[in-house]
Structure 1
Amino acid sequence: MGGGDGGDDSVLHFVFVHGASHGAWCWYKLTTLLDAAGFKATSVDLTGAGINLTDSNTVVDFEHYNRPLFSLLSDLPPHHKIILVGHSIGGGSVTEALCKFTDKISMVVYLAADMVQPGSTSSPHDSTMAVGEEDIWEFTYGEGDDKPPTGMLMKEEFRRHYYYSQSPLEDPTLACKLLRPAPLRALNGADKLAPNPEAEKVPRVYIKTAKDNLFDPLRQDRVVEKWPPSQLYILEESDISWRRVITLLFSLSRLPYSLIFSVLYLFFNYNAKLHSWFDHISSLVHYIKKSYC
């Protein structure tokens, strides 16, 4: 299961889905490194996000919002083994995609994301956007001030604290120029999925962000309790050194999913403790390659 696209050989293909107000652009560092390592990596702009030209005030349902993701997945050939990664409210999008394209998706990774079991009645955006009584949102009224709001965007003075508290200064400077209002009416449908037993058989990984100022870690714990994933990892810090882990990720492209789980953890959780983790996983990789590959 390699990263190349030769013939009908299996191709490991990462597909990344952004959160509210963001776009495909927010994954540019990660997709660049995966591409350089020989993997397929694609990020998508949902309707009204990023460089998608649709006015987000006109996006009224969740299916419309997710349509670019569905179009991408439907066009991918069957030998692409898709690892679908969603962040924040993008978790609702990847869950709906999982239900629609179950046979194409090999794994779903929820990175500090909504993870609501199909058929449940939980309200995911209440959990990811609830930050107490502080008024941090600016609403847009695309159908008039006398009608319910059609979009929402975090006020600029709060963005660094809630979105980018662990990021280099230049990242939020750029990001704040790219954010767009999120379509409120579409997001209200994020938890309205029918039960899907087949989709629940697909392996799921949840990566918890322990220092998240927007999606409270305790709320993330409740998300995990309501629909336990195959694996749970905790991202303690945001200081990430990519290249060494990318090399290891590439070496695992033909290995079982249990090892890919471990690599995803390392990939998102590089810190001072990684050296011992790296040595441990490297030894394990060497053993499995020698024994099974």
Structure 2
Amino acid sequence: MGDNQKQHLVLVHGICHGAWCWYKLQTLLEDAGYRVSNLDMSASGIDPKSLADLSTFPEYTDPLLNFMESIPSVETVVLIGHSLAGMNLAFAMEKYPKKVSLAIFIAAIMPDAINKPSFVLEEYFSRIPPGAFMDSHFPPFGRPENKLMAINFGPQYMAATIYSRSPPEVKIYRVDQMVKKILKMKKVKGN
């Protein structure tokens, strides 16, 4: 396994997704000897919060910030984020610079040090032609004075753009990995 065993990779999902979206990559990385943590941001995946519970983007980022807080001060991680997760990574890098050895932005929003954090998103949405998001919806959430907006990707939009290259049927687990985890859990419980 070599040096890879010592690296701790933290995967952060993009907009309208959850930790589940990394399942294939997580398995490959773990098989290669990496330590991998895979987080759901607030109101995403299996996180119990709803959008109504959130008022700010930092609140959405809380699971990552709490995770970073829990890391011992002598440990560093590699943050990996996709899409909107670039914003989450930027918050974590700013708050915990000594705990981040590297950040990898995969087709992700990368805020700059000059403009406000939302600048990149505002620029992006200002250049999108009307109707580009097809059957997606943009409901408001949080306090009205914050003018927060969510996005719910519609099935037509997802099929045409996000998952256009995904096979219609994707095996959602690897039996060998599942068996290893079950056996490990039984050993821990003493069964």
- CA 1:83/1:149 → structure 2, altered by over 3 Å: closer, same or farther? closer
Question: 1:112-149 CA distances to partner (integer Å, 9 max, x unpaired)?
Answer: 01011134236222355553111532133557xxxx67
Equivalent residue for 1:17? 12
Any conservation in 1 of the 2:79–2:100 contact (CA below 8 Å)?
A: yes
Equivalent residue for 1:38? 33
Equivalent residue for 1:105? 100
Match of 1:96 among 84, 87, 91: 91
Equivalent residue for 1:2? 3
Instruction: Count residues in correspondence.
Output: 165
Question: 1:53-98 CA distances to partner (integer Å, 9 max, x unpaired)?
Answer: 1011331101111000011111122443311111111101101110
Aligned-pair identity in percent equals 28
Equivalent residue for 1:26? 21
Q: Runs of 5+ in structure 2 lacking a partner? A: 173-191
Match of 2:119 among 115, 123, 130: 123
- CA 1:159/1:103 → structure 2, altered by over 3 Å: closer, same or farther? same
Question: 1:6-47 CA distances to partner (integer Å, 9 max, x unpaired)?
Answer: xxxxx2111111111101111111111111111111111000
TM-score normalised according to structure 1 size: 0.51
TM-score normalised according to structure 2 size: 0.75
For the residue of structure 2 that corresponds to 1:154, the secondary structure is coil
How many angstroms apart in 1 are the aligned matches of 2:149 and 2:164? 28
Q: Does 1:139 align with 2:138?
A: yes
Equivalent residue for 2:153? 154
Any conservation in 1 of the 2:19–2:45 contact (CA below 8 Å)?
A: yes
Q: Does 1:166 align with 2:165?
A: yes
- CA 1:61/1:149 → structure 2, altered by over 3 Å: closer, same or farther? closer
Any conservation in 1 of the 2:140–2:148 contact (CA below 8 Å)?
A: yes
How many angstroms apart in 2 are the aligned matches of 1:70 and 1:139? 26
Any conservation in 1 of the 2:79–2:102 contact (CA below 8 Å)?
A: yes
- CA 1:149/1:73 → structure 2, altered by over 3 Å: closer, same or farther? closer
How many angstroms apart in 1 are the aligned matches of 2:101 and 2:148? 37
Match of 1:61 among 56, 63, 66: 56
Two-structure CA RMSD over aligned residues (Å)? 2.7
For the residue of structure 2 that corresponds to 1:25, the secondary structure is helix
- CA 1:105/1:149 → structure 2, altered by over 3 Å: closer, same or farther? closer
Cα deviation, residue 150, structure 1: 4.6
- CA 1:14/1:80 → structure 2, altered by over 3 Å: closer, same or farther? same
How many angstroms apart in 2 are the aligned matches of 1:58 and 1:73? 22
- CA 1:3/1:79 → structure 2, altered by over 3 Å: closer, same or farther? farther
Any conservation in 2 of the 1:57–1:150 contact (CA below 8 Å)?
A: no
How many angstroms apart in 2 are the aligned matches of 1:73 and 1:37? 23
